[in-house]
C-alpha cells in the first residue's frame, strides 16, 4: 500500500475520512473532486476538475484509491466503512492478513509488508503458511482448512474477538466479500489485480539503450556492455524495473536498482534483485544502500560493512 498520493472517491467532507487519512503513515497528498475539502493539516490537497484533460494525467499519478465501494480503477484500493470508528491507532497498527497457499498471494503480501510499518500482524492461514513470506513483525497465526472452519469463518472469528485496524485481502480472497468486513467497521486493503505477466531477463548488449531510456530518471544512469550485467522486469515491450551488476577492477558492485514511479508497490525490484543475485552469486557483491533499505537487501545476504572495507575501485 503506497499512500503518497491518495485519490479520494468518497465524500471528503465526512470527518471520519479525514481522521482516517491522518492515521495513514506516509500520506502526502490527497486528490479530491467537488467543493468539499477535508481538514488535513500537513497534507497537500489537490482539487481535481475531472472535466479537464489534465485531470486524467493527475489520476494516473495516484498511488492509492480510498472509496466506500470499488470504483473500478487500476490502482490499489482502500475500502472504508461508512461508520465512524473511535480508534486513535494508525491504520497499519494491527493488520489482519488472509494468507493462502498460492505464490501470487504470498508475493502480494510480501510487497505489502515491505511498504507498511505495522506493530502487530494477525495471519489467518490456509494450513501451513510456509516460510517464503519474510516476517519481521510480532504476529499470531490462526489456521483454517483441513476439515476445520472455512476462510470466511476463520476471518470473522478473528474479527469477533479482536479489533484490527486494517484487513488485507490478497488477490485470491477465497470468496470473502470485503463489503461484509466493512460491516464490522474495519477498513479493507485490496491490492490491484494486475493482468498479464512480468518477464524477468538479463538484457543483451543491444538492449542496453532501452535500459538507459528508463534510467534517465535515475541520475541519467547508463549501462556499459563491457562492464555491466543488467537485469530487467518487462511487461510487453516496456521495461518496468532494473538492476545492474558492474564489474570493477577489484570487485563487483550492485547499483541502479530502479523502478519508475508508476510501477512501484508491486515488488518488481525484488524480482530483478532475485534474478541478479541468482546469476551473480559466484561473485562477492557490494553496494551502497540507504539505511531504510537494509532489511530489503538483507534478504539477499547483504550485510552492513564499513565503507573502508569496500573494494578500492568500488569506493
- Checking if the pLDDT of 84 tops 60, the result is no
Q: What is residue 258's predicted lDDT score, i.e. its pLDDT?
A: 94
Beta bridge partners of 187: none
Of 179, 194, 209, which residue sits at a domain end? 194
Q: What is residue 204's predicted lDDT score, i.e. its pLDDT?
A: 92
Nearest residue to 62 (alpha-carbon basis) of 80, 75, 53, 45: 75
- Tell which wins on pLDDT, 136 or 211: 211
Q: What is residue 88's predicted lDDT score, i.e. its pLDDT?
A: 77
Write down the mean pLDDT value for the chain.
Answer: 83
β-strand 120-126 against 94-99: which pairing, if any?
A: parallel
Beta sheet of 94-99, edge-to-edge order: 44-48, 29-33, 5-8, 64-67, 77-79, 188-190, 166-168, 94-99, 120-126, 139-144
Are residue 73 and residue 88 in the same domain, yes or no? Answer: no
β-strand 251-258 against 120-126: which pairing, if any?
A: unpaired
Contact 64, 180 (CB under 8 A): no
Contact 296, 272 (CB under 8 A): no
If one counts the domains in the chain, the total is 3
Are residue 223 and residue 305 in the same domain, yes or no? Answer: yes
Are residue 74 and residue 92 in the same domain, yes or no? Answer: no
Q: Quote the DSSP letter at residue 203.
A: P
For residue 59, what pLDDT band results from cuts at 50, 70 and 90?
Answer: low
- Tell which wins on pLDDT, 106 or 226: 226
Question: Each residue of 128-183: pLDDT tens digit?
Answer: 766 677 788 888 888 887 666 777 888 888 888 888 989 998 866 667 888 888 88
- Checking if the pLDDT of 61 tops 80, the result is no
Are residue 30 and residue 114 in the same domain, yes or no? Answer: no
- Checking if the pLDDT of 294 tops 90, the result is no
Phi and psi torsions of 4, nearest 5°: -60, -40
Question: Each residue of 222-256: pLDDT tens digit?
Answer: 999 999 999 999 887 789 899 999 999 999 999 99
Specify if 315 maps to a domain: no
Are residue 174 and residue 264 in the same domain, yes or no? Answer: no
Q: What is the CA radius of gyration of the chain?
A: 21
Specify if 293 maps to a domain: yes
Q: What is residue 194's predicted lDDT score, i.e. its pLDDT?
A: 60
Handedness of CA 203, 205, 210, 214 (dihedral sign): positive
Q: What is residue 41's predicted lDDT score, i.e. its pLDDT?
A: 79
Specify if 211 maps to a domain: yes
Q: What is residue 215's predicted lDDT score, i.e. its pLDDT?
A: 94
Are residue 190 and residue 209 in the same domain, yes or no? Answer: no
Of 24, 55, 80, which residue sits at a domain end? 80
Contact 60, 262 (CB under 8 A): yes
Beta bridge partners of 168: 97, 189
* Mean pLDDT across 40-54: 71
Of 159, 194, 229, which residue sits at a domain end? 194
Residue 254, C-alpha cell as written in the block: 550492485
What is the CATH classification number for the domain harbouring 179? 3.40.50
Are residue 102 and residue 169 in the same domain, yes or no? Answer: yes
Domain span at 221: 199-309
Helix, strand counts (H, E) of the chain = 8, 15
Are residue 11 and residue 98 in the same domain, yes or no? Answer: no
Q: What is residue 173's predicted lDDT score, i.e. its pLDDT?
A: 61
Q: What is residue 232's predicted lDDT score, i.e. its pLDDT?
A: 94
Residue 216, C-alpha cell as written in the block: 534517465
Nearest residue to 296 (alpha-carbon basis) of 115, 129, 147, 168: 115
Residue 286's alpha-carbon distances to 218, 230, 281, 291, 312, in angstroms, are: 20, 16, 12, 15, 11
Phi and psi torsions of 291, nearest 5°: -60, -40
Are residue 87 and residue 73 in the same domain, yes or no? Answer: no
Specify if 164 maps to a domain: yes
Specify if 258 maps to a domain: yes
Contact 241, 268 (CB under 8 A): yes
Are residue 154 and residue 223 in the same domain, yes or no? Answer: no
Specify if 75 maps to a domain: yes
What is the CATH classification number for the domain harbouring 242? 3.40.630.30
Specify if 234 maps to a domain: yes
* Mean pLDDT across 119-130: 81
Are residue 85 and residue 189 in the same domain, yes or no? Answer: yes
Contact 174, 59 (CB under 8 A): no
Are residue 76 and residue 156 in the same domain, yes or no? Answer: no
Residue 132's alpha-carbon distances to 101, 102, 109, 136, 287, in angstroms, are: 11, 11, 10, 12, 25
Nearest residue to 259 (alpha-carbon basis) of 296, 285, 225: 296
For residue 314, what pLDDT band results from cuts at 50, 70 and 90?
Answer: confident
Specify if 314 maps to a domain: no
Amino acid at each position: 500500500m503506497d499512500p503518497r498520493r491518495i485519490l479520494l472517491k468518497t465524500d471528503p467532507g465526512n470527518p471520519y475520512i479525514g481522521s482516517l487519512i491522518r492515521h495513514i503513515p506516509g500520506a502526502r497528498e490527497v486528490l479530491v473532486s467537488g467543493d468539499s475539502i477535508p481538514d488535513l493539516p500537513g497534507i497537500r490537497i489537490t482539487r481535481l476538475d475531472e472535466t479537464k484533460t489534465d485531470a486524467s494525467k493527475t489520476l494516473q499519478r495516484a498511488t492509492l484509491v480510498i472509496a466506500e465501494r470499488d470504483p473500478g480503477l487500476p490502482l490499489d484500493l482502500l475500502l472504508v466503512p461508512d461508520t465512524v470508528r473511535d480508534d486513535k491507532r494508525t491504520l497499519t497498527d494491527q493488520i489482519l492478513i488472509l494468507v493462502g497457499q498460492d505464490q501470487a498471494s504470498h508475493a502480494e503480501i510480501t510487497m505489502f509488508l515491505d511498504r507498511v510499518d505495522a506493530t502487530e500482524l494477525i495471519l489467518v492461514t490456509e494450513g501451513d503458511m510456509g516460510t517464503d513470506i519474510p516476517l519481521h513483525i510480532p504476529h499470531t497465526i490462526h489456521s483454517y482448512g483441513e476439515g476445520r472452519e472455512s476462510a470466511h469463518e476463520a476471518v470473522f472469528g478473528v474479527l469477533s474477538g479482536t479489533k484490527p485496524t486494517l484487513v488485507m485481502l490478497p488477490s485470491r480472497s477465497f470468496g470473502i466479500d470485503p463489503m461484509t468486513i466493512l460491516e464490522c467497521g474495519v477498513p479493507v486493503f485490496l491490492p490491484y489485480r494486475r493482468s498479464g505477466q512480468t518477464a524477468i531477463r538479463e538484457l543483451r548488449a543491444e538492449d542496453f539503450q532501452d535500459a538507459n531510456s528508463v534510467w534517465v530518471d535515475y541520475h541519467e544512469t547508463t549501462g556499459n556492455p563491457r562492464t555491466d550485467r543488467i537485469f530487467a522486469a518487462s511487461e510487453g515491450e516496456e521495461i518496468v524495473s532494473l538492476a545492474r551488476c558492474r564489474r570493477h577492477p577489484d570487485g563487483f558492485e550492485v547499483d541502479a536498482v530502479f523502478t519508475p514511479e508508476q510501477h512501484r508497490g508491486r515488488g518488481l525490484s525484488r524480482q530483478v534483485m532475485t534474478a541478479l543475485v541468482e546469476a551473480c552469486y559466484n561473485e562477492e557483491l557490494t553496494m551502497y544502500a540507504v539505511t531504510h533499505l537494509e532489511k530489503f537487501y538483507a534478504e539477499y545476504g547483504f550485510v552492513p560493512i564499513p565503507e573502508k572495507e569496500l573494494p578500492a575501485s568500488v569506493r
